[in-house]
Chain A
Amino acid sequence: MEIVDIVPPELKNNVIVTSVDALFKWGKSNSIWPLSSGLACCSIEMMCAAASRFDLARFGYEVFRSCPRQSDLLIVAGTLTWKMTPPLIRLYEEMPEPKYVIAMGNCNIGGGPFADSYSVVTGLDKIMPVDVYLPGCPPRPEALIDAMLKLKKLIRHPELGRDAADAKALSRANLELMTRPVRNVEERAE
């Protein structure tokens, strides 16, 4: 079949042809609106990332919204307890699609230092799907920026997420090993 060129010659050098999907992804990945959902220590580093030195605005991600209906990224910054879980799930449900979740800090990956506490959720992925895991206690603002750039890559190439799922299962197994309850030091000393 002959390909018919419908673009007039005077526009040929001024127009880029692409798919609507790619254009959406490009736009979406460059203007993420995070929800300002600070829970604990990590929220201070999240504020630092948005403030003067680290300046998240350089990447177009500085529009922190207080309302879940206006945001498309949930950065869970800080320790999540069982009491806070229902409000957080409600916030997540209230966010419009497409939405993404960053589990910021060790607490949200595997409980962190509070892994054997009676009130802490050991892993955010027990209650909601997570796109990017960001380790650190708390992670530095540079690390948060890196996580958001990784998320940008994920939004543009969603097929990367499939590999990430396998890696997630693997790292999950490693984390189980890392976050075992603290050994009895007396036993070790004797």
Chain B
Amino acid sequence: MAQTEKYVLNMGPQHPSTHGVLQVQVELDGENIVGAKPVMGYLHRGIEKLMESRTYVQCVPFTDRLDYVSAMNNNLGFCMAVEKLAGIEVPERAEYIRVICAELNRIASHHVFIGSLTNDLGSATGMIYAFRDREKILDLFNIICGARMTAHYIRIGGVAADAQDEFLRDTQKFIDYVPEMLDEYNKLFSGNEIFQARMKKTSIITKEMALKFGMSGPNIRASGVDYDIRKIDKYGAYGKFDFDVPLGKRGDNWDRYMIRMKEIAESAKIIQQALDNMPEGPYMAKVPKVLRPPKGDAYHRVENTRGELGFYIVSDGSTKPYRVHIRRPSFVNLQALDTMCKGMLLADAVTAFATIDPLMGEVDC
């Protein structure tokens, strides 16, 4: 009589489709997945602890290295939390520049998502196209702050430097190119039959499950929950712009992919409005050289590319934060991996992992 037993397969920490250093212990019954257990901590750098020994201004570069493909969004979250704590008013022009940079970075991050997803599904061509267009955004960042990835451009009280005419002109050029770009992507892979067959009706997360897991960002919106911090909190200048929040229906891999494609178009819409109504004025508020926020605590959350990114800062009245806690969306979203993989085939685990889109820098912090 044939005997079968379950066995454990280790994926990672060195694996091309884990996007960094995550180890997933996949329990298999033949080729069917029974359970998937993520093992984290391979990139734990102790950023929260390090921040306690730095001044508030010195903390900002660490946020670049949390979610390294959308550094501007992280800068924005931390700086707004400190501004809330210290009661700093940010000039309007700075708010607009911040929105432009954050949305550009959102598009750049979705490029990495598309690139790595298509690469994981076996089409290396997709990555080449996505990275080609990502370079265009990195060029814009290069103009405005001289760095490609870890920008450190958004500072406490405003931005590091004013947006030059060259930057605004080139951003306009890029925004004009976005519809053409999306059209090309749709022709290239969205319409591909194999791509659709691997994405549709796999790794479904229902509305209830997504809420229970505390997911956020495109992942929860793909399940049909209308939850976007930009709409709810209207932080910064986001209240002034008109944009839609794309929602999915089924909550499968395909929805999670399509949501991000639609978000690129929405981000472009926001940037266009910001460019059209760009106010004149200072780009930096008057911030004291040695920043000593009053005693107390503050929590501020922003819509990062991957979901709800929150910074909780406790101040004891000195120049350094007493405690910083970071609510990382990738870390929370990763909980769903086990549920998503159960009952799927081993090859689908890679797709599920790519569509949750976690970033190890943020998961391990």
Contact = CB atoms under 8 A, between A and B. Distances in A.
Interface of A: 36-41, 43-45, 47-48, 51-53, 66, 68, 78-79, 81, 83-84, 87-88, 91, 113-114, 116-120, 137-138, 140, 182, 185-186, 189
A186 B318 contact: yes
Given A43-B20, A84-B43, A48 B14 contact: no
A113 B129 CA distance: 32
A38 B128 CA distance: 18
B30 interface: no
Contacts of B13: 84, 87
A118 B46 contact: yes
Given A44-B149, A140-B148, A182-B58, A116 B50 contact: yes
Given A44-B112, A51-B132, A117 B46 contact: yes
A157 B115 CA distance: 38
A182 B112 CA distance: 34
A50 to B, nearest CB: 9
B20 A39 contact: yes
Nearest to A54: B135
Contacts of B325: none
B131 interface: yes
A47 B61 CA distance: 22
**Which of B42, B49, B55, B112 has the most C-beta atoms of chain A within 10 angstroms of its own C-beta?**
B42
B62 A189 contact: no
Contacts of A38: 20
Contacts, number: 108
Interface residue SS majority, chain B: loop
Given A41-B149, A47-B131, A182-B54, 18 more contacts: A36-B16, A39-B43, A40-B21, A43-B20, A44-B68, A44-B112, A51-B132, A52-B131, A66-B16, A78-B43, A81-B41, A81-B42, A81-B43, A83-B44, A91-B14, A116-B53, A138-B68, A185-B58
Given A37-B14, A40-B20, A48 B135 contact: yes
Nearest to A47: B131
Nearest to A141: B148
A49 to B, nearest CB: 10
A182 B135 contact: no
